[in-house]
Amino acid sequence: MSLLVTGSIGIDTVKTPFGVSENCLGGSAVYFSMAASFFTPVRFLGAVGADCPFDLAEVFEGRDIDLTGLEIRPNSKTFRWTGSYKGAMDQATTEDVEFNVLAEEPPKVPAEFTDSEFVFLANTTPALQIQLLDQLNEPTFVAADTMNCWIKNNLDDLKTLLKRIDCLIINADEARMLAAEDNVIKAGEVILKMGPRVAVIKKGESGSILCSDEGERFVLPAYPAGEVIDPTGAGDSFAGGVMGYLARHEKTDFATLRRAIAYGTVIASFTISDFSLQGLLAANGDYIDSRLEALREITTF
């Protein structure tokens, strides 16, 4: 079933205790698409400037990712982010950000993408997420991401968006902030009352919590990675694994959502194992299934 992602393409500089990766490829749509493509074809929607040094067709070679929705704007500059991680590397420090093309109008949804049935609205202003959603023809399942600055400064727009989506994927600190509730389980319950029927709360190295508006709960730890090189893109890779699995199986019942969360968790474990996309590029179906079995074994008792 068709899966559309709209989000950023970025030029990142990332510093971790394991080194520095300068001017590498990043962005939410890039990580999401690479992750989701293990499971299903992906429709890619995003924009870069003329300064973008990456050929995405080459980056995604051999993967079923449709770049019809990629806009290269000759008079614009590509989104840039510089960040660093220290200690447990559970939180990025943004040292510099240039929104550039992300501060402009979002790309138009191509006519052949408007019938997309599964949709992921990666992190950007809620108003732009709504604008993109308005261009689609009644998708089956829409998930979205958000962040603390939109919760703080664009809450009305975010609340409007939440009434129109099926799933919110958010980290624990953002969930607490959005719900004004310190307890993560209670925060999930508050978020569900805002509109979505499913909430996924990411807890980094502590895993994730899946909540439904029917009172169902599922808690899964993170894959036990022995070494974390670069956490950048892990959340978007997780979302890509989740949405890719759902689109492949064309179901969103709670049992399928549980399995999707497990696959998303495994996919994210590859992302954090190296800088930029290198960890995902080293993965394949056999490696993914092997890690899934290992995760299943350690969570069964």
The DSSP string of 44-69 is EEEEEETT----HHHHTTTS-EEEEE
pTM score above 0.85? yes
Question: In angstroms, how far is CA 125 from the centroid of its own chain?
Answer: 15
Residue 259 to residue 262: CA distance in whole angstroms? 5
Predicted local confidence at residue 15, as pLDDT: 97
Dihedral sign for Cα 52, 58, 59, 60, please: positive
Indicate whether 87 pLDDT > 90: no
Q: Which residue's entry shows tokens 């829409």?
A: 142
User: pLDDT (tens digit, 9 = 90+) per residue, 226-238?
Assistant: 889 999 999 999 9
**Residue 179 near residue 186, CB atoms below 8 Å:** yes
Number of alpha carbons in the 13 Å side-chain half-sphere of residue 64: 13
Q: Which CATH architecture has domain 3-298?
A: 3-Layer(aba) Sandwich (3.40)
Judge whether 99 and 79 are in contact, CB under 8 Å: yes
pLDDT tens digits for range 53-63: 999 999 999 99
Angle between helices 254-271 and 285-298 (to 10 degrees): 110
Tokens of 208: 């994730």
Would the CA dihedral through 295, 237, 165, 221 be positive or negative?
A: positive
